[in-house]
Structure 1
Amino acid sequence: MSATQNRLAVLFPGQGSQEKGMGRILAETSAEAAELWIMAEKASGLPLREIYWEGDEAAMADTRALQPAMTAVTLGLWFHLKSKLSPLAGFAGHSLGEYAALAASGMLDVPAVFELTSLRGRLMAEAAGGDGRMAAVLKLSLDAIEDVVREASQATGQVLRIANYNSPGQFVISGAAPAVEAAGALVKERKGRAVPLAVSGAFHSPLMAEPAAELEKVLRRCGLRAASVAPVFHNVTGAPEPDPAKALECMCRQMTSQVRWIDTVAALWQAGARTFVELGPKGVLTKLLAANLKETGEPYTAVAVAAPADAAALEA
């Protein structure tokens, strides 16, 4: 295997990966990691360590707290381990995780990341006043899901789209509640499975246009620089964008656009990534790799790092 095909991709998870106690071990032993939590709490105005180290499931699922807290966890792991993570093919983050990827790459300052994720969480929580829903669809082909989305949207006259292309066996639909419910029935008829997601709105759909416009104002004020560490592979395109102005356009579209995770993993593979390191709880993105890389027919290494001790696998 050539040197260009023995590189690392660093992956940052998003909402749904939270768990009680996340980030605590590192924050209690690393001043740098503790400072990230303090920055996140100042930006969000919320007692994030209390919520995630002592709270309950309902409090931890609140997107206003979740987005800055998850960012503190994943960036804490990055700064703790970055000296061991090279050579790099690139960074990628799933939805919320893309903000941590921007900070790790050097495209965005850490304080700006916490300002943005705190605002993003608040805006998305406020958007929950509508009737938006999301559901994961399993055991159906992409063609079948596209048919379901079209039929359910036409039947209800409501917004519905495929929001996340997570793997060839896992897609997420997003839209108005009547359309998502109608799609669920159609999925069942086709012997598939639709699993409602515990989220507060129709994320990555046109129903997020209003909060996306508010977030865009702050994104444009913060701006982006060229990556100084390694490129970020964007959700919107599944590809890196070396031009900071074009990368900014990707981020401005992210909340209403689809998460093209299948394309993202494929592009990282083409860039030479053969070791994939996920920084954050649960290893959700690590588990998706088998389906996304199956067609390559080649070996790869996947390491899920939720706490410092998990990094021992990087030495193996």
Structure 2
Amino acid sequence: MTGKAILFPGQGSQEKGMGKDVAEHNAEALALWKLAESESCLPLREIYWDGEAEDMADTRALQPALTVANLSLWLTVRNKVTPVATAGHSLGEFAALAAAGVLGMEDAIKAVTLRGRLMAEAGQSGHGMVAIVKLPQGTVETIVESAIRETGRELRVANYNTPAQFVISGEKEALDIASAQVKESKGRAIALAVSGAFHSPLIQEAADDFACFLEGLAWEAPAFPVFHNATALPEPDADRVMDVMQRQMTSSVLWIQTLQAMYGTGVREFIEVGPKGVLSKMLKPNLKEMGDDWTGVAVGSLEKSEAL
């Protein structure tokens, strides 16, 4: 495998005005916004084109809106590139599935709308997530294991974003102990403004409900490999893809491993399709030990897609 990979961002990449430029020039993109509004019963265009940041952070609105923004941009570039692989960070994985033809765009939007609703409902006081920066993976994993032993509470590394950027997810008592140990180790611990312990077993009930919903969708074999968050590997057939996606909500996001696996199979050009360019900034720290023969570009607007 050699060639281009398409990357789709997830939660945290939302920004005011996302997708508006494409929707104003592309009827198919506008139809996706209308479908997402119908499925979510939320005025998504009003929220994300004219609203405030606080409203944009609500996962019930964010998940369908960001997926539409990602897919809208994909519509503008899909005839210009021939990808050999794709991946999406957490929520972005559903846009990747649609791009690879595993799910139809309508089914992907329906799925993320339910996913957002279930994750919002799964939020509990005493559960949360903390970003950790400036510490290596081994130190972070040791801190997590220590906090679990000390408290007996649930805690795990939820996101492996870069070799110096991680997110842990779990119960407050364990998060507090881990955060203190991070600071003692000269790292930074930043509590995230989320309502639950996502990508952990603490939202298993929501994940079970979502898994049942996914079984009712039409799954197809990928037109090109989708590297999955939970395994950092692609799956060749529809049933195995569905199985991995049924576990995605409670599995860690192995983003470091995903990018390195893509590079290892020959990908040398990474194209981020979605707003803000967060994933493009993660390329260098994740690939610097693999080689310097790669390129990355962020396509976050209609103008950028036209220049591709």
Question: TM-score, normalization: structure 2?
Answer: 0.97
- In structure 2, the partner of 1:90 is 85
Distance (whole Å) between structure 2 residues aligned to residue 155 and residue 26 of structure 1:
51
The equivalent residue for 1:243 is 237
Query: Which residue matches 1:117?
Result: 112
Separation of aligned partners in 1, 2:221 and 2:305: 28
CA contact (8 A) 1:162 1:174 kept: yes
1:223–1:248 CA contact under 8 A, matched in 2: no
- State how 1:289-308 maps to structure 2 within 5 Å: 289-308=283-302
Q: Tell me, yes or no, if structure 1 residue 135 matches structure 2 residue 133.
A: no
Residue number in structure 1 paired with 2:215: 220
Question: Which runs of 5 or more structure 2 residues have no equivalent in the other structure?
Answer: none
- In structure 1, the residue matched to 2:35 is 39
1:277 to 267, 271, 290: 271
Residue pair 2:73, 2:305 contacting (<8 A) in 1 also? no
1:259 matches 2:224: no
The question of 1:232 aligning with 2:226 is answered yes
Q: Which residue of 2 aligns with 1:170?
A: 165
Q: Distance in 1 between matches of 2:295 and 2:220?
A: 31
CA distance in 1, matches of 2:271, 2:155: 33
Counterpart-to-counterpart distance in 2, 1:256 and 1:193: 25
Cα drift, residue 312 of structure 1: 4.9
Letter in 1 for 2:235: E
| TM-fit CA distance, 1:271 | 2.4
Counterpart-to-counterpart distance in 1, 2:132 and 2:124: 24
CA distance in 2, matches of 1:298, 1:54: 40
Answer whether contact 1:303 1:313 (CA < 8 A) is retained: no
Q: Does 1:61 align with 2:57?
A: yes
Taking only aligned residues, the RMSD between alpha carbons, in angstroms, comes to 1.2
Deviation of the 1:299 alpha carbon: 2.1
Identity level (%): 53
Deviations 1:22-78 (A, max 9, x none): 111111111111111011111111110011011111110000000000000000000
Given the two structures, how large is their TM-score scaled by the length of structure 1?
Answer: 0.95
Could you tell me which residue of structure 1 aligns to residue 8 of structure 2? 12
CA distance in 2, matches of 1:312, 1:83: 11
Alignment check: 8 A CA contact 1:89 1:268 kept: no
Contact kept in structure 1, 2:260 and 2:290, CA below 8 Å: no
Q: Which residue of 2 aligns with 1:158?
A: 153
Tell me by how many angstroms 1:79 deviates: 1.1
> Which of 187, 195, 219 in structure 1 is aligned with 2:190?
195
Instruction: Give deviations 1:59-114, integer Å, cap 9, x for gaps.
Output: 1000000000000000000011111112x121100000000111110001111111
Q: Does 1:148 align with 2:143?
A: yes
Q: Distance in 2 between matches of 1:298 and 1:313?
A: 24
Contact 1:149 1:183 in 2 (8 A): yes
Do 1:137 and 1:173's aligned partners in 2 also have CA atoms closer than 8 Å? yes
Where does structure 1 differ by over 3 angstroms across 4 or more consecutive aligned residues?
none
* AA in 1 matched with 2:61: A
Structure 1 runs not aligned, ≥5 long = none
Q: Residue type matched to 2:123 in 1?
A: A
Provide the C-alpha distance between the structure 1 equivalents of 2:219 and 2:286, rounded to a whole number of angstroms.
29
Q: CA deviation at 1:313?
A: 4.9
For these two proteins, the number of residue pairs brought into alignment is: 308
